Every structure is written in C-alpha cells, then in structure tokens.
Amino acid sequence: MAQLLAAFRKARKLTQRDLAGRLGTTQQAVSRLERDATGVSVDRLMKVLSVLGVELVFHDKAPAEVPEPKGRPRRRGVEW
C-alpha cells in the first residue's frame, strides 16, 4: 500500500511536501505513510486517495448466494 501511494504521488508530479500541504499535515507524516501504511486510519487513507485522484473499488469475488426463502418451507412429498 505504501509503495502504491508513493507511486500515485510521483505519477502526479507531487513532492511529499506538496501532498502534505494538500492534506494539512507535514512532509514527515507523508514520508512515514509512504514507508509504512499499516497504521493509517481509513479516514486518512480516503483523504490521501481523494487528494491524489485515486478511486478505491471493492469487488466481491465470491458468487452471489441464493437467499433462503422466507416463511415455512412447502411440503413436496418430503417431511421436513
């Protein structure tokens, strides 16, 4: 994650100081984030992505499950 954030920043030709200014933080905080993003909050991550113009997308790779029918099951020659 940290390397991706740095790559997106560099692709937009922003310095760490530029990004920090847009985030309202310090260059040192951006540097820490780009070294190790494991402790970043979701709010902070979303703000960084927004400033960088990056969209975070989730895809459900599991097949959709058929929902259980509501109410009592019907008997079709089988005892429930």
Catalogue all structural domains in the chain, each as residue range(s) with its CATH number: 2-50 (1.10.260.40)
* Residues contacting residue 14 through CB under 8 Å, at least 6 positions apart: 22, 52
**Tens of pLDDT, residues 38-54:** 989 999 999 999 999 99
> pTM score, two decimals?
0.71
Which of 27, 11, 19, 14 is closest to 51 using CA atoms? 19
Q: Which of 61, 48, 58, 47 is nearest to 4 (CA)?
A: 48
User: 13 in helix, strand or coil?
Assistant: coil
- Quick: pLDDT tens for 1-11: 999 999 999 99
Distance (Å, whole) CA 41 – CA 68: 36
